[in-house]
Amino acid sequence: MRDAILTNEQTLLVDDEKQSLTNILLQLSEMNLPKDSLDSLQKATRQLDELFLVVVVGEFNAGKSALVNAILGEKVLAEGVTPTTTRVTLIRWGEEKSERIVDEGYALVSYPLPFLKAVNIVDSPGTNAIIREHERLTDEFVPRSDLVLFVTSADRPLTESERQFLQRILDWGKKVVFVLNKADIFETPSALQEAEEYVRKHAAVALGEQPVLFPVSAKLAQRAASETNEAERLRLRSASGLDQLEAYIFTRLDDTTRLKIKLNNPLGVADRLIEQAENLVQVQSDDLKEDKTTVDSLENSISSYEHEVGIERSPRMAEVENILHKLEIRGVDFFDRTIRLTNIHHLIHGDQIRAAFEKEVLTDVTAQINEQVQRTIDWLVEKDMRQWQQVMTYLHRRQTANLDHIVGITGSKSSSIRRQELVDKVGRSVTSIVESYDRVKEASQLAVHVETAVAQTALFEIGAAGLGTLVSTALLSSTLDITGVIAAGTLAIVGLFVIPYKRKQAEDNFRKKIVTLRANLLEVLSTTFVKESNNSVARLRDNVAPYTRYVHAEHDRIEKASSLLAEMRRSVSSLRARIDLAVK
């Protein structure tokens, strides 16, 4: 027997194809395809392990095991005059000889012969002793066989049990080659010819055509294999008839068209599964489009809200800054008018000056600052409320669209239902927030946060009520202290020089205080409003996050699946191109 059916290039191709199909199967198994579909690819891939399958059947003691050993050129199976094969035995390649009993009726034999890397051989019990094994042979091995060798013994050619089993095999439409074993028992050529005609006659009845028949002697072939004399070895080999049978087997198995079909068959199964997965992924992608649009709208809306709040916050802080700027102008004007030599008799009355300062400079700063901060608070609360309402609108719109849009195919239905559940859950949460939104309460809580943040700075004493009051208190407690240090005696002596100096000192101190107050107050207010607006944005995002995260994850999964499927397509296409080059 020739060492191998496949060339080295073809053997490498088969190995690469098995690896590629195994990878494809693993990737497809994560795409929710039906188990039956995945099983079909797994089964097709396994068939590459037995690229060619030869099934040997016949009555016990017909010499089936001996014929298999003769074909392989080694004694792989036990032989004897009593039934030696009591179960269906699959012979395949292995790094070392071994036998594994799978169950009562099935065994696996591995043997390190190059021929077996491409060809698996099934040896069976006798047809008159394997009633229980008929189903396994006919349903599991015969349908995928490339050749059935029907071995009948020259001393009992084509018995009734053999003819009955032959009919079962023929139901599968498989090619059957008849082997008349033990041809060496005939003493004359005419006796052998008579036995051949008998087999041809009865086989033709079953086949409906003349059978392919080879008379052989497995016994002589085995003797030839062990013969050391070359001339005798050649004589025995020729007399055995095995060369003609082997030539036929190789011609049958070495057909390039059949090999191409065998190599392309699993790729065809892979193609169908990839197409099935592509259709499934497309359905899932179509099903996800509206959710992706909704999520994009939600995220864009929240991002726009965040951006708008940032832009609109600065002008509102500028209004507070403008109030302080006007306060500075009034304060400097007050010092110019008040701290003068002509007004010296009034300057010694600090309480009166402070009262006048409060009336003329701080006249309505408390109300102005409180009002402006409150307007900013109301603006932020109102904007937050409108944003929640907008989010609710997006979700309600998606809920309505989903009412009769649950796609009902395997692998997509569960995803649709999951998204619907998330839309409903998030929608209920947002609706509850909108319906229970209390503007007054929200504004009041925000005002407390702002006043607390300002009061807790180094500028003010905690305990004053209202931002404007805090500002007024800070200015009154630190800016006009100079009016109390001007004594009558001192003014009488150096008033001419002290008054301008004290006026300038008061104005400088006042300006410095205003600058520090403005910078720190605006920083605190801005930081507080930034924090509060960020909290609002975070709260919005946190509430819709379960839905948006799921949709993004599904989108990424579908994108990854599409990319993997495209790569699978390229892999299958590349293998087909290699098959065309390697099998000519």
Q: pLDDT of 191-241, one tens digit each?
A: 889 988 999 998 898 888 899 999 999 889 888 888 889 888 889 889 988
User: pLDDT band at residue 137, thresholds of 50, 70 and 90?
Assistant: low
Tell me the C-alpha to C-alpha distance, in Å, between residue 538 and each of 306, 313, 469, 534, 542.
Answer: 10, 17, 32, 6, 6
- Does residue 347 surpass a pLDDT of 70? no
| pTM of model > 0.75 | no
Contacts of 82 by beta carbon, 8 Å cutoff, 6+ apart: 61
Element (H, E) at 345: helix 344-347
Q: b/e string for 291-309 if b means 16 or more Cβ within 10 A?
A: bbebbebbeebbeebbeeb
252 token code pair = 């049958």
User: pLDDT band at residue 466, thresholds of 50, 70 and 90?
Assistant: low
Which of 110, 108, 6 has its CA nearest to residue 52? 6
pLDDT attached to residue 136: 63
Contacts of 37 by beta carbon, 8 Å cutoff, 6+ apart: 272, 273, 276
Distance between CA 32 and CA 308 in Å, rounded?
A: 44
CATH class of the domain at 51-254: alpha beta
pLDDT attached to residue 389: 92
Distance between CA 555 and CA 285 in Å, rounded?
A: 8
- Does residue 93 surpass a pLDDT of 70? yes
Q: What is the mean pLDDT of residues 97-118?
A: 84
Q: What are the φ and ψ backbone dihedral angles of 553, each rounded to 5 degrees?
A: -65, -40
Q: E-assigned strands of 182-227?
A: 212-215
> Which segment, 117-131, 291-305, 424-438, 444-458, is predicted with the most confidence on average?
291-305
- Does residue 575 surpass a pLDDT of 90? yes
pLDDT attached to residue 341: 59
Phi-psi category of residue 149: left, alpha or beta, with phi > 0 → left and psi -120 to 50 → alpha: beta
pLDDT attached to residue 484: 47
From the CA atom positions of the chain, what is the Rg in Å?
49
Distance between CA 121 and CA 551 in Å, rounded?
A: 53
Query: What pLDDT digit, counting tens, does each position of 524-547 carry?
Result: 888 888 999 999 999 999 999 999
β-sheet bridge partners, residue 38: none
248, 177 contact by CB (below 8 A):
yes
Contacts of 455 by beta carbon, 8 Å cutoff, 6+ apart: 461, 462, 463, 464, 470
User: pLDDT band at residue 130, thresholds of 50, 70 and 90?
Assistant: low
Q: What is the mean pLDDT of residues 19-32?
A: 92
pLDDT attached to residue 515: 85
263, with CB counted inside 10 A (0-12, 13-18, 19+), is: buried
Distance between CA 317 and CA 526 in Å, rounded?
A: 7
Query: What pLDDT digit, counting tens, does each position of 67-77 carry?
Result: 988 888 888 88
- Does residue 81 surpass a pLDDT of 60? no
Mean pLDDT, rounded, of the chain: 82
Tokens 């080879």, residue located: 214
pLDDT attached to residue 275: 93
Tell me the C-alpha to C-alpha distance, in Å, between residue 249 and each of 41, 148, 252, 428.
Answer: 28, 10, 5, 73
Collapsed DSSP state (helix, strand, coil) of residue 243: helix
Q: What percent of the chain has pLDDT over 70?
A: 83
Distance between CA 406 and CA 416 in Å, rounded?
A: 6
- Does residue 4 surpass a pLDDT of 80? no
Tell me the C-alpha to C-alpha distance, in Å, between residue 164 and each of 203, 206, 289, 420, 537.
Answer: 11, 9, 62, 62, 82
433, 388 contact by CB (below 8 A):
yes
- Does residue 507 surpass a pLDDT of 90? no
- Does residue 345 surpass a pLDDT of 80? no
Q: What is the mean pLDDT of residues 348-374?
A: 79
CB atoms within 10 A of CB 451: 21
- Does residue 28 surpass a pLDDT of 90? yes
pLDDT attached to residue 320: 87
User: pLDDT band at residue 409, thresholds of 50, 70 and 90?
Assistant: very low
- Does residue 270 surpass a pLDDT of 60? yes
pLDDT attached to residue 497: 60
Q: At what angle do helices 64-72 and 242-253 cross, to 10 degrees?
A: 70
Distance between CA 67 and CA 76 in Å, rounded?
A: 11
215, 241 contact by CB (below 8 A):
yes
Distance between CA 544 and CA 423 in Å, rounded?
A: 9
- Does residue 491 surpass a pLDDT of 80? no
**CA angle, residues 184, 188, 194, in degrees to nearest 5:** 90
- Does residue 369 surpass a pLDDT of 90? no
pLDDT attached to residue 349: 60
Which of 62, 56, 69 has its CA nearest to residue 221? 69
234, 201 contact by CB (below 8 A):
no
User: pLDDT band at residue 559, thresholds of 50, 70 and 90?
Assistant: very high
User: pLDDT band at residue 307, thresholds of 50, 70 and 90?
Assistant: very high
Distance between CA 42 and CA 47 in Å, rounded?
A: 9
Tokens 């699946």, residue located: 561
Residues of the chain with CATH 3.40.50.300: 51-254
Distance between CA 309 and CA 458 in Å, rounded?
A: 28
Q: What percent of the chain has pLDDT over 90?
A: 23
